Structures are given as structure tokens and as C-alpha cells.
């Protein structure tokens, strides 16, 4: 029986043809495919502009540079997230301030963010963890306090949230700057590494376009500090094709997540994830909560199913932050999640038969 992986990226003849056609054109960088991908992605998200870049990590660094974040500044970030959300901050010369996350939805705790704000706070990096949009209160609070909000949407392609004013926003338009990853495990990919930088602020549109190309203007003069963060034309061509299918792929993930919710609702050894009111979860990952995470991973492995424990060491406790003043600090919800979550396959390429195999394996675990 074929093993069920946690990720299976989509690859079709249409994507292959787009890649080959671009290669045959011999226009491999700084061409029309990158511009097309950026324009279509911005329209999809509801952002003013979007610029393809090398990966999600470079988009976070670029966002901080665009906002002028540097030495003497503080940036608030969750510790329960992928490490690049945090390491982008010292790479820009600033200090990361780690705060706890919500018990129910696992995104930044807005009250904890507010308590952590000082006169040095320049920005907040909010993460749509696993495809769950962060609390819309974060958006409004940052606006009220004049603090930049960077939207880490690396896991949230296709997610949306009804904001406090009643307007529904799509990931990529819920902050001043949005950062995406197109790593192969994500909801959409570009045939390798890739990222996207978006903005909803008119004063930042030029900077978003310039920063990925050494900060240079069309006259080739460097107007801001940037680097070569460009995406290749081949990757952009593949991404443009994938974007057409994103809504259907996310719908499939939601369908699988609902099957899991229904099947696991009454189990005793695992608990299902919650979705924030007003949110449309993108389900990059579907994570069960259990007191026995290692045993669950081992059980699924014995049934030919991959499962993973994500972020079992919170960012602030990792070696790279050994000298950080918060290295030994306890963030209660972060610590609890790091010890209890297990991601099971929810990819859009998962077949009905495979989904049923996952369900049966989890049910048998809980019955033991």
C-alpha cells in the first residue's frame, strides 16, 4: 500500500508547458511572467501591488527593510511559528519581542501584544498559523497605535477573515505588508522555492517593487537598501497557472478538514482544531491536539501515514536565541502547543480513499 505523505505538490501538463515555453523564450529573469504573476496575485488578494520574490523568508526581511526597521527597534512576533518569522527580525538589525498565542486559535494573543508594546515597537509580525487567520483585533489595534503590521501569510494562501468593520479580507490584504511562501508543501507552489510580497499601503507600492531588485529604480539607481530577491520567470509562469486552481484546491482542503472534524468529534485521545468565527481557514496543516503526540506519530507511521510535530521547540527557546533575554521565559500556551500538536495529511491531492485511511488510523489510535 502506498505511503500517504503530508504534502504532495500539484504538477500538470499545463504547468509543465508554461515552464518549458518560458525556458524556450530564453527570457528567464526580470520579464513579463513575473509581472503577470504579481499583478494577478495582487488582484486575487485585494492588495494594491504584489511582487514575486525568492521565498517567504526573503519576503519577511524585505518587508522589515521597506518599513525602515533596524537597530534600536523592537518587532513583536509569536514564538509559536516557523523560525524565519523570528529570525528575519535580527537579520534586519532589530530586536524580536516574543509573545504568547491564543489557546483556541493559536495565533497572536492581541492582549499579550498590547502589553508588550513599548516606545521602541516599530512593527508586529502576525502569523496566520497553519492557514488560520489571525484575530481581526490585531489589525485594528496596530492601526490605532500607529504600529506597522506585517502579515506572515506563508501558510494562508486562500484564507480570509471578516474584519471588525464587517468587510471580508483575503490573506495578503490584512496588514500593511503581506509575505507568502510557495514552498512545495504550501497550498500553491512554483516548482521550487518562491515567495510573494504584497502591500495595501499606497506609499509602499514602489518600495515593494524595488526592494527585490537591489532597490533600483528603472534608471538603475539604487533608491533603497535591497538585494537580489527576484523570482525566476519559470517559477512565475508555474505560479500563475497554480493561482488559477487555488480556490478549488483550498476548497478540497476544507472538505477534508470537515471530514476529519466529523470523524474525530467524539474521540477521547485527540481533539480537533477550531476555526475562528468569521474565518475561512486555508488548512495548510490540520493539527490534532493530544497528550500523546509521539505515540500518535508512531501509530500513524505504522499505518503508512506521515504525520509531523511542528514547532516542538518554540522560537525563543531555540539555540539561535540562546542569548536573547526571553530565552528561558515561559509562554504558557506556546509551550503547551509545542508539546501537543500533530499534523496529519490534509493536502488537496489527498484522495477520498487516502482520507478514509487517515480517519481509520486516528480512530484506532484513540480506541487503544
Cell of 254: 476544507
The hierarchical CATH code for the domain 246-367 is 3.90.1150.10
Q: How many angstroms separate the Cα of 184 from the Cα of each of 67, 130, 210? A: 29, 15, 26
Tens digit of each residue's pLDDT, the chain (368 residues): 899 999 999 999 999 999 999 999 999 999 999 999 999 999 999 999 999 999 999 999 999 999 999 999 999 999 999 999 999 999 999 999 999 999 999 999 999 999 999 999 999 999 999 999 999 999 999 999 999 999 999 999 999 999 999 999 999 999 999 999 999 999 999 999 999 999 999 999 999 988 888 767 676 676 677 788 899 999 999 999 999 999 999 999 999 999 999 999 999 999 999 999 999 999 999 999 999 999 999 999 999 999 999 999 999 999 999 999 999 999 999 999 999 999 999 999 999 999 999 999 999 999 87
Cβ burial of 286 (10 Å; 0-12, 13-18, 19+) is: buried
40 vs 60: CA distance, rounded Å: 21
First to last CA, the chain: 23
CATH number corresponding to 13-241:
3.40.640.10
Domain boundaries, the chain: 13-241, 246-367
pTM: 0.96
Amino acid at each position: 500500500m502506498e505511503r500517504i505523505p503530508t504534502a504532495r505538490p500539484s504538477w500538470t501538463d499545463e504547468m509543465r508547458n508554461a515552464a518549458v515555453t518560458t525556458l524556450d523564450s530564453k527570457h528567464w529573469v526580470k520579464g513579463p511572467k513575473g509581472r503577470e504573476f504579481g499583478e494577478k496575485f495582487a488582484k486575487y488578494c485585494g492588495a494594491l501591488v504584489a511582487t514575486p520574490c525568492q521565498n517567504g523568508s526573503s519576503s519577511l526581511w524585505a518587508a522589515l527593510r521597506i518599513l525602515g526597521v533596524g537597530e534600536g527597534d523592537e518587532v513583536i512576533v509569536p514564538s509559536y511559528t516557523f523560525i524565519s518569522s523570528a529570525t528575519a527580525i535580527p537579520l534586519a538589525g532589530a530586536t524580536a519581542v516574543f509573545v504568547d498565542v491564543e489557546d483556541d486559535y493559536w495565533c497572536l494573543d492581541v492582549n499579550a501584544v498590547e502589553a508588550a508594546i513599548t516606545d521602541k515597537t516599530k512593527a508586529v509580525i502576525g502569523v496566520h498559523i497553519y492557514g488560520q487567520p489571525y484575530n481581526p483585533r490585531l489589525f485594528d489595534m496596530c492601526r490605532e497605535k500607529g504600529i506597522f503590521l506585517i502579515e506572515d501569510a506563508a501558510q494562508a494562501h486562500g484564507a480570509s477573515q471578516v474584519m471588525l468593520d464587517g468587510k471580508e479580507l483575503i490573506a495578503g490584504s490584512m496588514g500593511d505588508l503581506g509575505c507568502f511562501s510557495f514552498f512545495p508543501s504550501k497550498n500553491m507552489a512554483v516548482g521550487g522555492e518562491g515567495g510573494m510580497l504584497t502591500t495595501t499601503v499606497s506609499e509602499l507600492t514602489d518600495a515593494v517593487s524595488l526592494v527585490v531588485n537591489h532597490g533600483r529604480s528603472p534608471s538603475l539607481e539604487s533608491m533603497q537598501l535591497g538585494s537580489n530577491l527576484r523570482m525566476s520567470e519559470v517559477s512565475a509562469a508555474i505560479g500563475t497557472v497554480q493561482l488559477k486552481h487555488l480556490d478549488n484546491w483550498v476548497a478540497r482542503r476544507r472538505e477534508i478538514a470537515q471530514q476529519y472534524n466529523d470523524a474525530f468529534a467524539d474521540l477521547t485521545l485527540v481533539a480537533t482544531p477550531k476555526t475562528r468565527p468569521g474565518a475561512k481557514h486555508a488548512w495548510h496543516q490540520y493539527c490534532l491536539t493530544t497528550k500523546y503526540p509521539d505515540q500518535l506519530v508512531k501509530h500513524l507511521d505504522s499505518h503508512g501515514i506521515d504525520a509531523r510535530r511542528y514547532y516542538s521547540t518554540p522560537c525563543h527557546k531555540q539555540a539561535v536565541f540562546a542569548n536573547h533575554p526571553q530565552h528561558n521565559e515561559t509562554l504558557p500556551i506556546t509551550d503547551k502547543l509545542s508539546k501537543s500538536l500533530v499534523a496529519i495529511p490534509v493536502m488537496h491531492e489527498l484522495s477520498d480513499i487516502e482520507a478514509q485511511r487517515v480517519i481509520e488510523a486516528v480512530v484506532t489510535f484513540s480506541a487503544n
